[in-house]
């Protein structure tokens, strides 16, 4: 739920008729679903009366904000908002407050502290498109305003259908066996970018299907910022056009040659189609993790900084000619150093590989047998330095000064930024957003927001599915991000309070429909640690649910039918001894926290009872219940403890 900035709750409640005036579209539809009484919701522009309410009742100086809104609940609800997006935020806030057919009287004023609040994701597999639409609705209820959506070969390109054909073949090959894709990133002796074949589940959306996705988001004022990688993460280009590779011996190459004039000729065709489909105002050009450079004959005698800057500027100028703003990953703008002395991003560093020492020595990708290599990014052992392949990731320090200030830079090295008030963005007057952000470990966020940080983006690098998002803790991160973006009085030192508020917020969103119907409510926890070496979680696009299943709730109905509901660790239950404290990481300058907190949060609410943490969750029931019981899986009889359970009939 969208976090309130400021509020005063008064005595009494009102019930709504579902009628509204001064609003249209999805916001009107949201209000129409709220019934039970005769009060209406009236939407008005922010006027002097609204500002006076804020100053007198909330004792706050009014601040203009196009996304902000005021809710005044008397015998009706008056919403003061100046934009359609703000009206929708207000309508969703009313819905979230509308409990058991009533809403408290009072005054709420909410506005975001930062202008950019996004989720970075892949396209969902087509079978999970309904979940994607739910996710968009969740984002609105949490006060987010944009999605960075990676495209790659997962959208139909009418000018270049060979890209889609090669993409489908490549993805099918990578996912031929359940664990094959885990090894794909090790399939070259030079650095290789992570494999993104989980995008769209390895499939392709037609342009008409993509336009439907874009329209759904547009109706909810969620801006889609499509990401079209080219210099790096360019497997989808290079498997179709191997001549674009930087290294002609790299299979399923992930780095393209910036000196090849055919590269951007192709990329700009793709830009045109993406811009046409999404009608986007901004486009994300990627350009992260440029590690393999100056290898081919065209590039080997050139300065890597010159190559990088020239390629970025060519993309930037093309998009500018189309009236489209450039977003890009910004790891090459500054050097960072972690606490153990490791350098990253714009710095020069050594990278070593040796033939894989494990059981799997090679994988077959698209008919080619590819040797695997163990990779050493830092502090390689002497034997590796002696026997292995040495690759130098060349530095590009200083290239930031040659790049335009009106690009939106996505800074994912924020966690190792020692002084957020004196970095390249502050010194060069460049705006940026914090990328790959886990808001729950973000330190000094208010200081950052005051110094060239325009917002943050939460990233999910797994499949865009309910379980993929949950395994990476994304719903929890989104709810926590809503708190730091909208609650201006909250501080980073109220971490535990933020945790419980974030967990409860997404639980109510995610389980809203189940809670409204007949359901089984269970409060349970895991009291025993797993055996040593047992991996409790699945992986990026292949989830072994049996691996995390501890048992089942078996519901028997009076008609003789049964439902078996799995109890899965990290999904609808977790450890009883979860600890909520956090500390500054020993590796970076951000916080470090217990990852078990984030995984069950969309499905469970947390209950702390002394030293034990319990997990409340609900399961829908489809008829009159005769009985129900918990049946543990063999070998896991002592893991789950149930505090209470009950059938709730609405």
Task: Write the class of the CATH domain 6-110.
Answer: alpha beta
In 3D space, the residue among 236, 331, 344 whose CA is nearest the CA of residue 286 turns out to be 331
Q: How far is CA 299 from CA 267, 509, 517, in A?
A: 19, 52, 63
CB 590 within 8 A of CB 441: yes
Residue 537 has pLDDT above 80, yes or no: no
Return d(Cα 564, Cα 554) in angstroms, integer.
Answer: 5
Q: Tokens 């995984």, residue?
A: 599
3-state helix, strand, coil in the chain (%, to 5): 30, 25, 40
Percent of the chain with pLDDT over 70: 98
Q: What is the pLDDT of residues 619-633, one digit of tens each?
A: 999 999 999 999 999
Return d(Cα 142, Cα 354) in angstroms, integer.
Answer: 46
What pLDDT was estimated at residue 533? 46
Please report which confidence band the pLDDT of residue 532 belongs to, taking 50, 70 and 90 as the band edges: low
Structure tokens at 407: 């690009």
Residue 529 has pLDDT above 90, yes or no: no
What is the average per-residue pLDDT within 514-519? Answer: 96
What pLDDT was estimated at residue 159? 98
Task: Tell whether domain 153-329 is in CATH 3.40.50.720.
Answer: no
Return d(Cα 151, Cα 389) in angstroms, integer.
Answer: 33
What pLDDT was estimated at residue 624? 96
Domain with CATH 3.30.379.10 in the chain: 6-110
Please report which confidence band the pLDDT of residue 418 belongs to, taking 50, 70 and 90 as the band edges: confident
Please report which confidence band the pLDDT of residue 2 belongs to, taking 50, 70 and 90 as the band edges: confident
Please report which confidence band the pLDDT of residue 546 belongs to, taking 50, 70 and 90 as the band edges: confident
Give start and end residues of each alpha helix (H) in 101-193: 129-141, 161-174, 180-184
Q: How far is CA 155 from CA 122, 171, 264, 387, in A?
A: 11, 14, 18, 43
What is the average per-residue pLDDT within 511-525? Answer: 97
Residue 153 has pLDDT above 60, yes or no: yes
The contacts of residue 209 (CB under 8 Å, 6+ apart) are none
Please report which confidence band the pLDDT of residue 545 belongs to, taking 50, 70 and 90 as the band edges: confident
Backbone phi, then psi, for 546, in 5-degree steps?
Answer: -65, -30
∠ CA 479-148-446, nearest 5°, is: 50
What is the average per-residue pLDDT within 31-35? Answer: 96
CB 340 within 8 A of CB 587: yes
Q: How far is CA 562 from CA 217, 485, 511, 621, in A?
A: 39, 45, 22, 10
Name the β-bridge partners of 70: 80, 109
Please report which confidence band the pLDDT of residue 541 belongs to, taking 50, 70 and 90 as the band edges: very low
Structure tokens at 424: 């390249």
In 3D space, the residue among 199, 202, 195, 196 whose CA is nearest the CA of residue 171 turns out to be 202
Please report which confidence band the pLDDT of residue 178 belongs to, taking 50, 70 and 90 as the band edges: confident
Q: What is the pLDDT of residues 426-453, one digit of tens each?
A: 999 999 999 999 999 999 999 999 888 9
What pLDDT was estimated at residue 331? 96
**Structural Rg of the chain based on CA atoms:** 26
The contacts of residue 493 (CB under 8 Å, 6+ apart) are none
Residue 25 has pLDDT above 70, yes or no: yes
Q: What is the pLDDT of residues 275-327, one digit of tens each?
A: 999 999 999 999 999 999 999 999 999 999 999 999 999 999 999 999 999 99
Structure tokens at 185: 């990133």
Residue 530 has pLDDT above 50, yes or no: yes
CA dihedral 290, 295, 301, 306 (to 10 degrees): -10
What pLDDT was estimated at residue 647? 98
What is the average per-residue pLDDT within 49-72? Answer: 97
What pLDDT was estimated at residue 542? 40
Give start and end residues of each alpha helix (H) in 220-303: 235-238, 261-278
Please report which confidence band the pLDDT of residue 618 belongs to, taking 50, 70 and 90 as the band edges: very high
What is the average per-residue pLDDT within 338-346? Answer: 92
User: Which pTM does this prediction carry?
Assistant: 0.96
CB 238 within 8 A of CB 196: no
Domain with CATH 3.20.20.80 in the chain: 153-329
């Amino acid at each position: 739920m969208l976090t309130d900035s400021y509020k005063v709750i008064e005595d009494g409640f009102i019930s709504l008729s579902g009628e509204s005036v001064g609003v249209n579209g999805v916001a009107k539809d949201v209000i129409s679903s709220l019934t039970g009484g005769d009060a209406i919701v009236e939407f008005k522009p922010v006027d002097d009366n609204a500002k006076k309410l804020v100053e007198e009742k909330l004792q706050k100086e009014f601040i203009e904000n196009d996304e902000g809104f005021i809710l005044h609940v008397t015998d009706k609800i008056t919403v003061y908002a100046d934009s359609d997006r703000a009206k929708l935020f207000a309508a969703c806030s009313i819905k979230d407050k509308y409990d058991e057919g009533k809403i408290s009287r009072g005054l709420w004023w909410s506005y975001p502290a930062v202008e950019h609040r996004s989720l970075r994701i892949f396209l969902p597999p087509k079978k999970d498109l309904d979940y994607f639409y739910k996710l968009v609705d969740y984002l609105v209820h949490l006060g987010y305003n944009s999605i960075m959506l990676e495209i790659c070969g997962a959208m139909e390109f009418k000018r270049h259908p060979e890209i889609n054909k090669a993409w489908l073949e490549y993805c099918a090959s990578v996912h031929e066996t359940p664990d094959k894709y885990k090894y794909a990133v090790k399939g070259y002796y030079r650095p290789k970018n992570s494999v993104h074949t989980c995008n769209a589940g390895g499939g392709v959306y037609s342009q008409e299907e993509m336009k439907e996705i874009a329209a759904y988001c547009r109706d909810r004022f969620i801006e889609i910022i499509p990401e079209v990688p080219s210099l790096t993460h360019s497997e989808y280009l290079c498997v179709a056009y191997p001549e674009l590779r930087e290294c002609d011996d790299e299979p399923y190459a992930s780095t393209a040659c910036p000196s090849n004039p055919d590269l951007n000729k192709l990329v700009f065709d793709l830009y045109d189609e993406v811009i046409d489909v999404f009608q986007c105002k901004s486009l994300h050009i990627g350009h992260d993790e440029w590690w393999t450079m100056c290898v081919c004959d065209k590039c080997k005698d050139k300065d890597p900084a010159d190559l990088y800057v020239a390629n970025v500027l060519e993309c930037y100028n093309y998009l500018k000619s189309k009236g489209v703003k450039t977003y890009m990953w910004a790891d090459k703008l500054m050097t960072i150093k972690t606490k153990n002395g490791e350098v990253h991003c714009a710095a020069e560093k050594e990278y070593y590989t040796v033939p894989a020492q494990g059981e799997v020595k090679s994988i077959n990708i698209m008919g080619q047998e590819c040797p695997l290599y163990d990779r050493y990014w830092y502090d390689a052992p002497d034997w590796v330095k002696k026997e292995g392949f040495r690759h130098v990731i060349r530095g590009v320090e200083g290239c930031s000064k040659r790049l335009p200030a009106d690009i939106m830079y996505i800074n994912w090295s924020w966690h190792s930024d020692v002084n957020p008030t004196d970095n390249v963005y502050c010194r060069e007057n460049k705006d940026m957003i914090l990328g790959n952000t886990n808001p729950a470990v973000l330190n000094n966020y208010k200081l950052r927001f005051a110094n060239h940080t325009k917002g943050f983006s939460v990233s999910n690098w797994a499949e865009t599915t309910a379980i993929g998002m949950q395994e990476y803790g994304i719903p929890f991160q989104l709810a926590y991000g809503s708190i730091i973006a909208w609650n201006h009085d909250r501080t980073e030192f109220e971490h535990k309070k933020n945790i419980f508020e974030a967990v409860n917020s997404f639980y109510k969103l995610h389980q809203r429909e189940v809670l409204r119907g007949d359901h089984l409510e269970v409060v349970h926890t895991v009291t025993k640690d797993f055996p040593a070496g047992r991996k409790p979680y699945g992986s990026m696009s292949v989830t072994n649910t049996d691996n995390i299943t501890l048992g089942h709730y078996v519901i028997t109905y009076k008609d003789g039918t049964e439902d078996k509901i799995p109890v899965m660790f990290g999904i609808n239950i977790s450890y009883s001894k979860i600890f909520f404290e956090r500390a500054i990481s020993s590796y970076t300058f951000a916080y470090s926290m217990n990852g078990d907190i984030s995984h069950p949060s969309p499905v469970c609410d947390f209950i702390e009872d002394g030293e034990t943490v319990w997990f409340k969750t609900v399961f829908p029931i489809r008829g009159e219940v005769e009985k129900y019981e918990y049946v543990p899986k063999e070998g896991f009889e002592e893991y789950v403890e149930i505090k209470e359970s009950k059938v709730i009939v609405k």
